[in-house]
Structure 1
């Protein structure tokens, strides 16, 4: 007759178990490698249906352990049975490798055997153990499970009929009774027979000697909850059940009828019952009966994924390192946005954009937070001020402690705050001044070298970033980054605040060899912050009153302007023309033309300028053309900067009318004055009233 083959158990470790082990190691075990009780559970064997062939595929016989497995009052989930075990965690990988695994395995096998003989209890038949080493620095966990199972000699055989469907022999009534019994029983093993009145009954295996007193041999069943869904091979728990019966009842168990219980669904007349019945036999002799109390050999070390006897390793660094957990979680909203609403949204293009924030005040703080919300991972601050007591309530990256002892440098403090919010951000702050027109550089080596160093540092920072935000509190401080950014063809975004108005704009790009956009239309040369002025930037900071020294503005204006600037950047990055994206043309009403889809990105329109009016809760899109005499972005200024370098900048800083002369604004101004003077104005007399 065919030998009975058994499907071994496999460990299924939930990641939360390692979280719990980490806490246990740090707070309780420390340097102890003492055994810790652990409880697992397994369910009735399950199958899945192959979509192509329609055939059922048996899933492995899994014993599951999780964080709750360490609890003394652990209860198996509904439909599962428990298996007792223990865990030993070693302090080093060397100890884990060097432990005498054979001796440890034999100790556990002997414990099961002694429990059988001394107590006749089946509670330890499914006992397992696991050895571990927890590398808490790298969040790597090495582990090896063992499921001791006794080897029968000679081997068990099954009749020529093999395993048969139980419903064909037992009938719906008896199967329904067993199903009901198991719903109220936590034991993985049970007996099924008939009482003196011929009614079906069920009981624990521990009652074997008396349970079948009124049941004929043909109606005696020994059942177990089978974790194997393989129709040919019963699960591992049957091995120790058979060893239990042979050890305690060798004279009456040479031929037994086994019920493999494999049904999870509630009974019904049309149910497809999966449980099976088979008759197992074993050759027996007088000598075998006399040696029944001798422990047989045992097997049960789990194989690794390569099919060899060896430990496994769980690398939970991506899950257990809080920084990595945060990195996965902070982008959840963006990923859901792409998943559900905008499948074509290129999140990588946004997250990889390196942003330079010139100004770490109210606008700078809000811009940084909005950029983080979009997944931007590189944010650099530049500011020369320190945190003052008036800042924290308006600038969300600072707190009261940052104001003490003269105040922390704003740029460095803002960067440190971003790190606290999300450790995965790549951020740094630079405390430096930006040289400005109208603010002469003293003619001494120290001042000149410092100015030259500041210019070089700013040029380096702009060169290392993709987008530059101008968020300073003066007009002239925006001039140098405007020139450098235009020369290097960077994205420049400008935000300026009034009392209840704001202006947000993107600077136009320098001419490109690509003369047309994705729609075939010529690129539109857009203006910069200075294109609408016929006066060069000059000193606006000297002799300011208190209200002029502070940006007096409605509190809600800065976050609106900051968020608008970031949203324009996001839309610009999604536009096929990128830096050269054309804005939607305004209509006669001052609003944008919504019908021109060629100007849109996947996020919608990419305006050139937005002027907001908080007193009207209105934003007006504007388009401004580039001015060939602009003191910030004209080719005259850019070529002078690129050919003369710092010498040209020094003239702009020190000479009041240099930029007007360079661009020709002085002649335009003189011509305008002359034209006005040549006009003959008629004077109204008294009689005209």
Structure 2
């Protein structure tokens, strides 16, 4: 066909690419062995497609574990397709099956549904598929050939108006109205997705209905608009489901139409925001088909990986073991998150992160479970306590049996439980005591040697992991890991609880030594100590952020001495640890998504309305939560040049003197660190300034 001497292009369609999940093969194997055996009877199965994939992904028809249950609930916004499985007993039977006869048989069924009018009442009859398989269960090799039958016009479909995006065709208000009308249509039809529907639009309104209402909806119009729930992501071509719809329209109404507008409805959600603007709109002229005698030609067999007509083969010998299958399935939620919501999410960077959890209590249990939810495969616990009777109700990795006979070591019990939950996790546990300031270790050579061994073990563990979580009960137990991690330039995530408050923070990540032209805290040294720890600073880079101890003006000491039971234990609202533990892991994941990792500039509360620095949002320095107010704030603070844990003077002494320096800290009073870092002098100067100003505590007015 020509217009003004110009050959009009022919409409082409993007074919489906089969996406058969490993779970589908696992279920086929089970049914073949237990139910089908030698029976080659055809089986009804169900697949689905989705119209919200990011640009660049193929037009996928997906079959999962649930494909064999045709009554199973379809996931939201997915369009179900019912098809037929032909599973053969031998490879020869698979090869010799008459593929053309199978396809023609289904094509005839579709044509009968069109000519009888049944497809108008039930448009799902236009979409079906065939799956021919052979399962070699000795080697777990699966041969398959997939077909999506489509009827062909006797001549090409010409494009009158080439495809444009919906954003170029509709206004913002029209697009919003279209989305709302489609959602209402889905609710009315009680389905997850309406595959085909009709549309009328003006500048002020968009109305939709189903195919069965064609005559009264269009009332003799010669130019109409039809819509297809389109899984294609290409900007110039519609997806395969449109083909049989056009045959239906041409047969029933083609002789009355001058032209046909087609809306390929594509409905993405990116970072929580719905977007249909990339849907495409075009106009075509349908060839005549009502006079065709017999069923039109039917096509649809999928091409193989080489681009030719032929079957495909998948080797699942390594993943058909249930443990391996669990390993491939555990990340399903994460894959869906990346495919549908956050295409730029770097899952590999998360999954391969080695996490060291110092503390296997309430925080440690919650952090471990959340890490596993994110797909982290390597987790190590360190704790020196046993499971007690008060633990299982608050600490999710322990049970009553773990408390018996004095209780299992927490670190080992946690390892055992994680392996039961997911055998694919690589988890270790160490029943290790962390030496602490204010807790002397010089009572005997034995205790001194044990302390040195514990320090060396802790150094090795921190060195072999990527992220260190500080989840202990006491403040002083966090000091040594903070020093070691700062020296080794490891990312530290700290979580601490009050009764109804918590703090989750990342420690400032010191620059590698070869990059340090000045001490790590030199930038902070010029800041008056009176404002250190203030959240007034903005845009602080990661290497200048403070650690857990940077807000202190006293050295850590023995916080449990002479305290009652309620003072020695962390008494918190029960939900607090779950919140803080989850935020600690989410903070880690957000950091890993940032191009600069732990050196990323700290986000603050003021950044909540700005463009987020990562696909997952902000990368704060601290998250301070107040459960009584159900509120969080995001302060950021500079490193303190007199910090008792991460200041350059502490790190220099630790790196030069090693355990001898640590022994002096453990065995001396808190004044040792305060003298070393200059806190003692700071206290003296402060007192002198108060005396100079004539401050009298008894008469001061505040």
Q: TM-score band (shorter)?
A: 0.5 to 0.7
Which residues in structure 2 correspond to 1:513-592 (within 5 Å)? Answer: 513=515, 525-585=544-604, 591-592=605-606
Instruction: Tell me, yes or no, if the aligned pair for 1:362 and 1:394 is still in contact at 8 Å.
Output: yes
The structure with more radius of gyration: 1
**Which residue in the other structure is 2:631 paired with?**
618
The CA deviation string for residues 508-534 of structure 1, in whole angstroms up to 9 with x for no partner, is 121452899xx9997661111111111
The equivalent of 2:467 in structure 1 is 467
State the 1:663 CA deviation: 1.0
Range moving further from structure 2, 489-498 or 398-407:
398-407
Alignment of 1:195-594 (within 5 A): 270=290, 272=292, 315-317=315-317, 320-512=320-512, 513=515, 525-585=544-604, 591-594=605-608
Q: CA deviation at 1:490?
A: 0.8
Q: Secondary structure at the match of 2:606?
A: coil
Cα gap change, 1:20 to 1:444, in 2 (>3 Å): same
Counterparts of 1:84-233 in structure 2, within 5 Å, are 134-135=137-138, 139=140
Q: How many residues align?
A: 447
Shift of 1:38: 4.3
CA contact (8 A) 2:468 2:490 kept: yes
Secondary structure (helix, strand or coil) at the match of 1:398 reads coil
Question: What is aligned with 2:619?
Answer: 606
Structure 1 residues 350 and 530: CA distance shift in structure 2, 3 A = same
Measure, in 2, the Cα distance between the counterparts of 1:17 and 1:600: 40
- RMSD value over aligned CA atoms? 4.6
Alpha-carbon distance between aligned partners in 2 of 1:458 and 1:675, rounded to the nearest angstrom: 42
- Name the CA shift for 1:648/1:273 in 2 (closer, same or farther; >3 Å): farther
SS for the counterpart of 1:553 is coil
In 2, Cα distance between the equivalents of 1:514 and 1:344?
A: 32
Q: Which digits, 9 at most, give the CA deviation of each residue in 1:475-529, with x for residues without a partner?
A: 000000000000111111111111111111111121452899xx99976611111
In 1, distance between residues paired with 2:618 and 2:21? 47
SS in structure 2 of the partner of residue 320 of structure 1? coil
Offset of residue 387 of structure 1: 1.0
Please give the alpha-carbon distance, in whole angstroms, between the structure 1 residues aligned to 2:383 and 2:698: 56
Tell me which of 645, 664, 667 is aligned to 2:678.
664
Distance verdict in 2 for CA 1:680–1:356, change over 3 Å: same
Given that 1:501 and 1:614 are in contact with CA atoms closer than 8 Å, whether structure 2 keeps it comes out as: yes
1:506·1:609 contact (CA, 8 Å) conserved in 2? yes
Per the alignment, do residues 142 and 645 of structure 1 end up closer, same or farther by CA in structure 2, a change over 3 Å counting?
A: same
Contact 1:362 1:558 in 2 (8 A): yes
> Post-superposition shift, 1:274?
6.1
Q: Deviations over 1:230-284 (max 9, x none)?
A: xxxxxxxxxxxxxxxxxxxxxxxxxxxxxxxxxx9999982645679xxxxxxxx
Alignment deviations for residues 412-445 of structure 1 (CA, whole Å, 9 cap, x no partner): 1112222222222111111111010110103423
Contact in 2 for aligned 1:22/1:134 (Cα 8 Å): no
The residue that corresponds to 2:647 in the other structure is: 634
Q: Are the equivalent residues in 2 in contact too, given 1:318–1:325 (CA < 8 A)?
A: no
Q: In the aligned structure 1, how far is the partner of 2:341 from the partner of 2:468?
A: 29
Is the Cα–Cα contact under 8 Å of residues 584 and 596 in structure 1 kept in the other structure?
Answer: no
Q: Secondary structure at the match of 2:567?
A: helix
Question: Among 659, 679, 689, which residue is 1:675 paired with?
Answer: 689
Q: Is the 8 A contact 1:17 1:67 kept in 2?
A: no
Structure 1: gaps (5+ residues): 1-12, 30-34, 43-65, 69-76, 89-95, 102-129, 144-263, 277-304, 307-311, 586-590
1:78 & 1:331 partners in 2: Cα distance?
27
Q: Residues 21 and 607 (structure 1 numbering): CA distance in 2 closer, same or farther, change over 3 Å?
A: closer
Q: Give the conservation status (yes or no) of the 8 Å contact 1:87–1:131.
A: yes
**Which secondary structure does the structure 1 equivalent of 2:666 belong to?**
helix
Note closer, same or farther for the CA distance 1:680–1:324 as it changes in structure 2 (3 Å cut).
same
Q: 2:391 and 2:697 mapped to 1: Cα distance? A: 55
Report the TM-score, using the length of structure 1 for normalisation.
0.56
Where 2:391 maps in the other structure, the secondary structure is coil
1:18 touches 1:67 (CA, 8 Å); kept in 2? no
Contact 2:542–2:602 under 8 Å retained in 1: no
- Contact between 2:497 and 2:577, CA under 8 Å: does it hold in 1? yes
